[in-house]
Structure 1
Amino acid sequence: MRRVTFGMNISIDGYCDHTIFNPSKELHDYFTGMMDDVDLLFFGRVMYQLMFPYWADVAKNQSGTGYENRFAEKLTSIDKVVISRSLSNAEENTRIIRSNPAEELRKLKQQPGKKISVDSVSMLPELIEAGLIDEFRLVVHPVIVGNGRKLLDAGSLQEKLNLTLTDTIIFKSGSVAHHYLKQ
Structure 2
Amino acid sequence: MPRLFLAYKLKTIKMRTVSFGMNISLDGYCDHTAFNPSEEVMDYFTEMMDGVDLFFFGRVMYQLMFPYWSDVARDQSGTAAENRFAQKFSAIDRVVVSRSLDSGDEKTRIIRSNPAEELLKLKQQPGKKISVDSVSMLPELISAGLIDEFKLIVHPGIVGKGRLLLEPGSLQEKLDLKLIDTIRFKSGSVALHYLKQ
TM-score, normalised to structure 1, is 0.99
| Match in the other structure for 1:88 | 102
| Match in the other structure for 1:63 | 77
| Match in the other structure for 1:103 | 117
5+ residue gaps, structure 2: 1-14
Which amino acid in the other structure matches residue 115 of structure 1?
A: K
| Match in the other structure for 1:22 | 36
- Supply the RMSD in Å over aligned alpha carbons: 0.5
| Match in the other structure for 2:12 | none
Higher CA-based Rg: 2
Number of matched pairs? 183
Which amino acid in the other structure matches residue 26 of structure 2?
A: I
Moved over 2 A (4+): none
Which amino acid in the other structure matches residue 95 of structure 2?
A: V
| Match in the other structure for 2:5 | none
How far apart, in 1, do the equivalents of 2:104 and 2:33 lie?
Answer: 21
5+ residue gaps, structure 1: none
**Matched residues, percent identical?**
78
Q: Quick check: 1:3 aligned with 2:25?
A: no
Which amino acid in the other structure matches residue 146 of structure 2?
A: L
Q: State the SS of the aligned residue for 1:168.
A: strand
Q: State the SS of the aligned residue for 1:121.
A: coil
Q: Deviations over 1:110-157 (max 9, x none)?
A: 000000000000000000000000000000000001111000000000
Residue of structure 2 aligned with 1:146, choices 160, 165, 169: 160
Q: Deviations over 1:84-124 (max 9, x none)?
A: 00000112211001000000000000000000000000000
Cα drift, residue 21 of structure 1: 0.2
TM-score, normalised to structure 2, is 0.92
